[in-house]
Structure 1
Amino acid sequence: MDRPNCQQKIPFFSKAIHSWGKIKTCPHCTSPMRQDFAYGKFFTLAFVIGLPIKLLGVFIPVLAFLKSSLATGLILGVFMMFCMRFKQVEP
């Protein structure tokens, strides 16, 4: 994930990402930031990529495991990770 203020990369398994609370601090510049979710990007990914993957499980018998609810949850979970972003908190 990119930091909006200092443009540094923050690793996914960082304490800054998985700490409690809405306001988090940047590990590089220690300025406040807020974690946000891009809803438009999520629905675009779900319908443009997720729906065809689910339909592959319906129409191709070898890929029948893709139509299960576990596969749907995994696919949507990955898309949710891609849609998380940080926004700068105004003082």
Structure 2
Amino acid sequence: MNTFITGYGELIASALRNRGSRKDDFEYDADHHEYRYVIRMCQQLAGSIRANTGKCIDLSEVLRVERMASGHADYQSKFAVYCWELGAGTSRQN
């Protein structure tokens, strides 16, 4: 498996394991229409994509692909692949 995809998957797994550890994790952010732990996870992923590819990916793009993966049994791996696609410039549209 692609090492970037594996790295993104590890970031996602860590965020999911640690959700609820911060007091505000389950506060809803009205600006982004998402829980704060998801926003923090997506910010970390955007930073990782930038570090890996040099591409500046907007938080809204990472949140968009997170929503595409949400609800799937293989959420973590789908989301990691979608993040890789963002960095590669081949992102899916909804």
What's the TM-score bracket when you normalise by the shorter of the two chains?
0.3 to 0.5
Q: Which has the higher helix share?
A: 2
Q: Which has the higher strand share?
A: 1
- What is the TM-score with the length of structure 1 in the denominator? 0.35
Max radius of gyration: which structure?
1
- What is the TM-score with the length of structure 2 in the denominator? 0.35
